Chains A and B, each alone.
Chain A
Amino acid sequence: DGGITQSPKYLFRKEGQNVTLSCEQNLNHDAMYWYRQDPGQGLRLIYYSQIVNDFQKGDIAEGYSVSREKKESFPLTVTSAQKNPTAFYLCASTYLGMQFFGPGTRLTVL
């Protein structure tokens, strides 16, 4: 089955910790994206990558970092510099203007 997988489904972070969210796709799409979704605020773009070894900041990149070493993988690290990381995180990929989403990771700060 082709698609986007995200892990873990739920993640708990203590204050001051860095955590990494996994995103893998087997759709052979070049472009991948990370969004944050908060209640009542819609989707906000964190980072995107249109090709391996290259990525760009989105609207709310502060406190986050990414890497794109393989076409299939686009992990997101939420660093301790992100002051309010509790949110639902969505990974996506795009083909010919159509964007497809993974199932999401819910991150909670304890």
Chain B
Amino acid sequence: QKEVEQDPGPLSVPEGAIVSLNCTYSNSAFQYFMWYRQYSRKGPELLMYTYSSGNKEDGRFTAQVDKSSKYISLFIRDSQPSDSATYLCAMSSSGGSYIPTFGRGTSLIVHP
């Protein structure tokens, strides 16, 4: 079992849809949870950062962490074609020297 599991997609949705992206993990020591957006041939951009459990909202993006289920989600409301990218989840712990473990990424396509 991989330490972090993420469905590679592609996930194709119409413009305006609510998108749900998810990752599961096995290491209960993870405390820091991140979501990145990566456009083709660009470096990943940090979108959301959450410490421990709970929800965090930033504009159209909401990140959720459920440590009891070892499950994290990223919701995108009112999706736009410019949201088309690969989304990477990542998580780390202080015991692991903060070195993140990444999911393989989910490819999202938002069509007009």
By a beta-carbon cutoff of 8 Å, the part of chain A in contact with chain B is 4, 6, 31, 33, 40-43, 45, 48, 50, 88, 90, 94, 96-104, 106
A94 to B99, CA, bound (A): 8
Contact across chains for B51 and A97 when beta carbons are under 8 A apart: yes
Contact across chains for B46 and A41 when beta carbons are under 8 A apart: no
Q: Are A106 and B97 also in contact (CB < 8 A) when A43-B102, A100-B46 are?
A: no
What 0/1 readout, one digit per residue, does chain B (87-112) give for beta carbons within 8 Å of chain A?
A: 01010101001111011110000000
> Which residue of chain A lies nearest to B31 when distances are taken between CB atoms in the complex?
A97
B residues within 8 A CB of A102? 43
> Which residue of chain A lies nearest to B4 when distances are taken between CB atoms in the complex?
A42
Contact across chains for A101 and B41 when beta carbons are under 8 A apart: no
Contact across chains for A41 and B104 when beta carbons are under 8 A apart: yes
> Which residue of chain B lies nearest to A98 when distances are taken between CB atoms in the complex?
B49
A residues within 8 A CB of B100? 94, 99
Question: What's the nearest-Cβ distance from chain A to residue B3, in Å?
Answer: 12
Candidates A4, A45, A100; contact of B99 at CB < 8 Å? A45
9 closest residue pairs by CB, A with B: A97-B32, A42-B104, A101-B43, A103-B43, A43-B102, A104-B43, A101-B44, A97-B98, A98-B49
Question: What's the nearest-Cβ distance from chain B to residue A36, in Å?
Answer: 12
Contact across chains for B8 and A104 when beta carbons are under 8 A apart: no
Which B residues between 37 and 81 are near A, CB-CB below 8 angstroms? 41-46, 49, 51
B residues within 8 A CB of A103? 42-43
Taking the complex as formed, is B21 at the interface, i.e. its CB lies under 8 A from any CB of chain A? Answer: no
Q: A4-B43, A6-B43 are in contact. List 10 more A-B contacts (CB 8 A).
A: A33-B99, A42-B104, A90-B44, A97-B32, A97-B49, A97-B94, A97-B98, A98-B34, A99-B90, A103-B43
A residues within 8 A CB of B42? 103-104
Contact across chains for A50 and B97 when beta carbons are under 8 A apart: yes
Candidates B44, B88, B98; contact of A94 at CB < 8 Å? B98
Question: What's the nearest-Cβ distance from chain B to residue A32, in Å?
Answer: 12
B residues within 8 A CB of A96? 98
